[in-house]
Amino acid sequence: MKVLVIGSGGREHAIVKSLKKSSRITEIFCAPGNAGIGQDAALVPIKPMEFDKLAEFALNEKIDFTIVGMDDPLVGGIVDVFEEKGLRVFGPRKNAAILEGSKAFSKDLMKKYGIPTAAYETFTDANKAEAYLKTAKLPIVLKADGLALGKGVLICNTLEEAQDGVKEIMLDKKFGEAGTKLVVEEFMTGREVSVLTFCDGKTIRPMTSAQDHKRALDGDQGLNTGGMGTFSPSPFYTQEIADFCQKNIFEPTVAAMAKEGRPFKGIIFFGLMLTQEGPKVLEYNARFGDPEAQVVLPRMKNDLLEVMEACVDGKLDQIELQFEDNAAVCVILASKGYPVSYEKGFPITGLEKFDNKNDYFCFHAGTAVKDGKLVTGGGRVLGVTATGETLERAREKAYEATKWVSFDNKYMRNDIGKAISEA
Ligand code: AMP
Ligand code: GLY
């Protein structure tokens, strides 16, 4: 089979590497991919939002199966365009990807179907939002309704901060049209857990749990980033909590989407907060997490293609997901200055030690080739992942492997999975 993956980050590299283990695949393409993905797949220079060009490529190349890794094309309706042309494609249609595309939609859905989440109000008028804030309890959370590269969430400790936030999101349009609507949400406290699930429209199967570290600096300080590292599984996500989530969050979400005439096929990523009152949904995403995929997929025993095909064909009930009884840690090697400003184009060395099969994986996020040499090409450059019998062992191995890699302005957090493995 010929398979096309759409996207260009560490997540897509992890997807491609997992697909390489599938004996039924003869050729993997990735659009547009990156320098590292180019060592595992044939790169296709078409951008993820060029739906017609991508579909034309898939038709001409006789691609049997396409996997969409990123949120923007999913929310924009790429799956509908592919399906209209008779192409097999993994991911939610536009009317289901709205679960990630609109926070107001997802909050209303949870409220209607009794799925636990933070209390909230939605506003389209900045004056009304500001008036409401005067009566609200602090801290308070402001969320731009639409996609904002994971940056449209502001946690405000004072009324002034909240008022400034409303101005930034709704009037100055800091996150563009994503800020036309505003969700104002109760602040929750607790441990965060990411649970990625496969869905076929009716059945939902959770993968092993993970946790992301979103802030740029050690000790969860500094600015929010796309994610500086992950570990899997989360020791706080016990069997009891998993059972609660399956019954009260995962199954009700898939059932609710089906009932609304928006059957969800693909990945639902549940961002959960384990609060004193029980697990609650922080957010939904309609795709694998990045860098959650980099710790979850290396632990998965199933053939990824087979599971994805079962989702598309509505046969996920016939699949049991299986994960290794081990742990994984991914440390992001970034360019110093990320997520604000940073230089790129520095040569990268030391990647030959990674086996990329069993213990040590190097997933490329922002890399490029210049004059025949591998160079840094983005803020998040590489995701160094190691597996081990325990979280502590995986962590030691991942940090050992980060020392193999050299490039100018290399920056990483030193505490990925640390507080947890010591807890
Ligand atoms: P999101 O993009 O919705 O995942 O939000 C980004 C981050 O903001 C989350 O990972 C949480 O750390 C934090 N966050 C979002 N919503 C809330 C909330 N209601 N209470 C506390 N923290 C939140
Ligand atoms: N790691 C968080 C995300 O992919 O949204």
The per-residue DSSP string of 105-131 comes to HHHHHHHHTT--B--EEEES-HHHHHH
Q: How many CB atoms lie within 10 A of CB 176?
A: 12
Q: What is the dihedral of CA 242, 198, 216, 335, to 10 degrees?
A: 150
- CB of 225 shorter than 6 A to ligand 2: no
159 exposure class (CB count in 10 Å sphere: 0-12, 13-18, 19+): middle
Please give the DSSP secondary-structure letter assigned to residue 40: T
Instruction: Give me the pLDDT at residue 302, please.
Output: 98
Per-residue CA distances from 78 to 45, 59, 83, 242, 362 (Å) = 17, 14, 9, 32, 29
Q: Nearest ligand, CA of residue 141?
A: 1
Half-sphere exposure of 70 (CA within 13 A, CB side): 22
CB of 10 closer than 8 Å to CB of 230: no
For residue 188, the ligand 1 atom closest to its alpha carbon is 20
Q: Which residues of 291-321 are buried (b: 16+ CB within 10 A; e: fewer)?
A: bbbbbbbbbbebbbbebbbbbbeeebeebee
For residue 227, the ligand 2 atom closest to its alpha carbon is 1
Pairing of strands 360-364, 380-388: antiparallel
Q: pTM, whole model, 2 decimals?
A: 0.96
Two structure tokens written together for 414: 């030193």
Q: What is the pLDDT along the chain (423 residues), one digit of tens a residue?
A: 999 999 999 999 999 999 999 999 999 999 999 999 999 999 999 999 999 999 999 999 999 999 999 999 999 999 999 999 999 999 999 999 999 999 999 999 999 999 999 999 999 999 999 999 999 999 999 999 999 877 789 999 999 999 999 999 999 999 988 989 999 999 999 999 999 999 999 999 999 999 999 999 999 999 889 899 999 999 999 999 999 999 999 999 999 999 999 999 999 999 999 999 999 999 999 999 999 999 999 999 999 999 999 999 999 999 999 999 999 999 999 999 999 999 999 999 999 999 888 899 999 999 999 999 999 999 999 999 999 999 999 999 999 999 999 999 999 999 999 866 554
Using only C-alpha atoms, the chain has a radius of gyration, in whole angstroms, of 21
**40 CA distance to ligand 1 middle (Å):** 35
Number of residues that make up the chain: 423
**389 CA distance to ligand 1 middle (Å):** 31
For residue 118, the ligand 1 atom closest to its alpha carbon is 19
- CB of 192 shorter than 6 A to ligand 1: yes
**153 CA distance to ligand 1 middle (Å):** 7
Please give the DSSP secondary-structure letter assigned to residue 414: S
Q: How many CB atoms lie within 10 A of CB 155?
A: 15
- CB of 292 shorter than 6 A to ligand 2: yes
Two structure tokens written together for 311: 């989702």
Q: Which residues, 6+ apart, have CB-to-CB distance to 248 below 8 Å? A: 115, 116, 279
Pocket probe mutation, ligand 1, options 154, 184, 195, 282, max atoms within 8 Å of Cβ: 282
Distance of CA 129 to the CA centre of its chain: 30
Residue type, 269: F
Handedness of CA 158, 341, 73, 170 (dihedral sign): positive
**59 CA distance to ligand 1 middle (Å):** 40
**296 CA distance to ligand 2 middle (Å):** 13
User: From atom 4 of ligand 2, which residue's Cα is the shortest distance away?
Assistant: 289
Pocket probe mutation, ligand 2, options 72, 234, 285, 380, max atoms within 8 Å of Cβ: 285
**102 CA distance to ligand 1 middle (Å):** 15
Instruction: Give me the pLDDT at residue 419, please.
Output: 64
Two structure tokens written together for 151: 């940056």
Two structure tokens written together for 397: 């191995």
For residue 288, the ligand 2 atom closest to its alpha carbon is 4
Per-residue CA distances from 198 to 91, 95, 201, 294 (Å) = 10, 17, 10, 16
- CB of 289 shorter than 6 A to ligand 2: yes
Q: What is the dihedral of CA 15, 18, 19, 22, to 10 degrees?
A: -160
Q: Please, where are the H alpha helices in 136-238?
A: 159-166
Per-residue CA distances from 131 to 45, 66, 126, 171 (Å) = 49, 47, 9, 15
Q: Give CA–CA dist 141/224, Å, rounded.
A: 14
**85 CA distance to ligand 2 middle (Å):** 30
Q: Please, where are the H alpha helices in 263-390?
A: 293-296, 304-313
Q: Which residues of 99-130 are buried (b: 16+ CB within 10 A; e: fewer)?
A: bbbbbbbbbebbeeeebbbbebebbeebeebb
- CB of 326 shorter than 6 A to ligand 2: no
Q: How many CB atoms lie within 10 A of CB 172?
A: 11
User: From atom 9 of ligand 1, which residue's Cα is the shortest distance away?
Assistant: 282
Facing residues of 283 across strands? 271
- Location of structure tokens 């210049």: 370
User: From atom 2 of ligand 2, which residue's Cα is the shortest distance away?
Assistant: 289
User: From atom 3 of ligand 2, which residue's Cα is the shortest distance away?
Assistant: 289
Instruction: Give me the pLDDT at residue 217, please.
Output: 96
Pairing of strands 373-376, 204-212: unpaired
User: From atom 16 of ligand 1, which residue's Cα is the shortest distance away?
Assistant: 282
Task: Lay out the sheet containing 27-32: strands in order across.
Answer: 42-43, 27-32, 2-7, 65-68, 89-90
The three-class DSSP label of residue 13 is: helix
- CB of 100 shorter than 6 A to ligand 2: no
Two structure tokens written together for 254: 């898939």
